[in-house]
Amino acid sequence: MSSEAILESRFALNGNVKLHYVAAGSGPPVVFLHGFPDHCLGWRPQMQALCGSYRVLAPDLRGFGRSDAPRGHAHYALLPHLVEDVLAVLAAEQLSQASIVGHDWGATIAWWLAMRVPHAVRHLVVLSTPHPRNYIRAIADPANAGFFSYMRRFQEAGAAALPAPEELGAWIADVADRQALVESLRGSDPEAMLGYYRANIPLGRVPDIGPLPLVRAPTLVLFGTDDPYVPTNAYDGTFREVDNVTSLIAIPDAGHFIHHQAAGLVSREIEAWVSRPPSSFRSLG
């Protein structure tokens, strides 16, 4: 790894919650938001690929890694807490806007940030995660119970349902990257990690999400065709939720963790997307 750029550890504050993030490079900012079970360094392949031309930033979400884990599931609500955490990282870097890339819970945060604080999102790239309206509908559909049974276990059984860090990190093939994740998960708070599911996904009947602002940023969605946790038809309505150019790319034979399983492809697609001025997406010439 000696030829790789050094990822510097930094901290941001959202009120009294301290958020750890790693940063490298200079240029237009790109923020990477991880999901479950992951950490800021899960984006290492993408950050190394982009840091020669971009300022790349990746926080540990609250409750994960070296970020604070406030007590109580209410502290893990998407609005306002998780969205404001991203704004706190931008503020720590003296930024008002960035391209936002998210996977899993990080992608859900990215969707909501793009809807609620549109001026902060220059480009939107989401991995393995449908738009929240379509995601909630997919979760509510009994036909998809097999995809989401893990979610219900996390909501109902508590921390006892959470596998050990070694099991949670088994999805990473690279030995060094897997060990880094396992160490990070050992330092994470199990109740906080479960708080994401408790605070944001209703138990029992899941209501329709209702009216939402359209996403105004040019939006790229990447997903694996063999994702065991998200049905591919949950992406079908994406175009109706975005008032801009929208691209969906299905990655054959890939599962949920496509930023590792197809790291090179994902990095190239992200770089190609964020390299274009947002105004250029409006022009069809």
- The Cα 91–Cα 76 span in angstroms is 20
Nearest Cα to Cα of residue 228 among 255, 257, 197, 263: 255
pLDDT digits (tens, 9 = 90+) for 157-207: 666 678 999 999 999 999 999 999 999 999 999 999 999 999 999 877 777
Please give the full DSSP string across 193-240, using - where no structure is assigned. Answer: HHHHHHHHS-SSS-------PPB-S-EEEEEETT-SSS-GGGGTTGGG
8 A C-beta contact, residue 104 and residue 110: no
Low-confidence ranges of the chain (pLDDT < 50): 1-2, 285
Task: Report pLDDT for 208.
Answer: 78
Cα separation, 91 vs 10, in Å, equals 12
DSSP assignment of 47-103 equals HHHHTTTSEEEEEPPTTSTTS---SSGGGG-IIIIIHHHHHHHHHHTT-S-EEEEEE
Question: CA 212, CA 145: separation in Å to the nearest integer?
Answer: 26
pLDDT at 126: 98
Please say whether the dihedral angle defined by the alpha carbons of residues 110, 40, 11 and 80, taken in this order, is positive or negative. positive
pLDDT value for 237? 92
Domains of the chain and CATH, by start = 8-277 (3.40.50.1820)
Which pLDDT score is estimated for 207? 75
Distance (Å, whole) CA 185 – CA 166? 9
